[in-house]
Structure 1
Amino acid sequence: MAHRLLLRRFVSVTLRGSSGPVRSRSSALFPSRSSLSWHGTGPPLHHQAVPATARGFCVSHASRVTFNVQNQADFAERVINSKKPVLVDFHAEWCAPCRILGPRLEKMVAKQQGKVIMAKVDIDEHTDLAIEYKVSVVPTVIAVKAGEVVAKFVGVKTEDDLEVFIKKLTCT
């Protein structure tokens, strides 16, 4: 996915900088192949593209308060040393309940408008963190405030339960 985005960005910059006629992205990448399909003096209308515009990356509020933990040092820096309360979601890609809980948590954290942040830890990639925080079942969510674990729950919760859990974290 990242490669595809990078390629699109490269192609849009290349097309924008060219002084010649604007062609479709496919004809820019494969000029000889696409020219074979032209039967007239120029490309058919469905092959013509609008001028490429630069696309910025989406930076929604949810993406600013939710992040994936990269390693032990990243966890220490962004979770343990955080001035804000942090919800740490221990999950796994193969875990179906994790795929249900994750979006709910992100939605509820985004509603807090920056009062709480959320760290996502894949237990398959960061087994050491899972062992350190005694995670034996996924999904497990721990609440860290001032570097200390102050609350924990295991399993899927409703949005109402999550709201109560987060409110307790922000009020204390």
Structure 2
Amino acid sequence: MSARAVTESTFEAEVLQNDKAVLVDFWAEWCGPCRAVSPILDQIASEHADKLDIVKLNVDENPGLAMKYQITAIPAMKVFKGGEVVQTVIGAKPKPALEADLAAYIA
């Protein structure tokens, strides 16, 4: 199981109305660090699918959401719970560091 893509049209249903915590990976095709962190997020998505959903949002294709959530640098990851942002993680990190950041949602 890997992280699935969301768009401005599916964001509300997939993220804001989700019962589980959802990590949104704000990324772009041209972003090298985004591509580096992508397989790590896919691993976390498959290992913790029961507790945390992970979705990807292309900021170039969905500029309205990038602006709404004040994405100024990518990769940026935001954890949503109950429709609200509860945590922000900026930058590519190795898997242990990401898992530590997300411990409250995957432990």
Q: The TM-score by the shorter chain falls in which range?
A: over 0.9
Q: Take 1:153 and 1:163, find their aligned partners in 2: how far apart are those partners?
A: 11
Q: RMSD value over aligned CA atoms?
A: 1.2
Which structure shows the higher strand fraction?
A: 2
| Cross-structure match for 2:104 | 168
User: What are the equivalent positions in structure 2 for 1:1-150 lying under 5 Å apart?
Assistant: 62-63=1-2, 66-70=3-7, 72-150=8-86
TM-score by length of 1: 0.59
Q: Take 2:31 and 2:9, find their aligned partners in 1: how far apart are those partners?
A: 26
Higher RCO (Cα < 8 Å, 6 or more apart) = 2
Please say if residues 85 and 145 of structure 1, whose CA atoms lie closer than 8 Å, have aligned partners that are also in contact: yes
Please say if residues 51 and 105 of structure 2, whose CA atoms lie closer than 8 Å, have aligned partners that are also in contact: no
Instruction: Spell out structure 1 runs of 4+ moving beyond 4 A.
Output: none
Q: Take 1:154 and 1:166, find their aligned partners in 2: how far apart are those partners?
A: 13
SS of alignment partner, residue 11 of structure 2: helix
One-letter identity of the residue aligned with 2:4: F
Question: Which runs of 5 or more structure 1 residues have no equivalent in the other structure?
Answer: 1-61
Q: Take 1:157 and 1:86, find their aligned partners in 2: how far apart are those partners?
A: 18
Which structure shows the higher helix fraction?
A: 1
One-letter identity of the residue aligned with 2:17: N
Question: Which runs of 5 or more structure 2 residues have no equivalent in the other structure?
Answer: none
Please say if residues 85 and 170 of structure 1, whose CA atoms lie closer than 8 Å, have aligned partners that are also in contact: no
What are the superposed Cα offsets for residues 60-117 of structure 1, whole Å, 9 maximum, x if unpaired? xx14xx21013x2310011000001100000000000000011111111211132111
One-letter identity of the residue aligned with 1:160: P
SS of alignment partner, residue 10 of structure 2: helix
One-letter identity of the residue aligned with 1:129: L
SS of alignment partner, residue 54 of structure 2: strand
Q: Percent identity?
A: 34
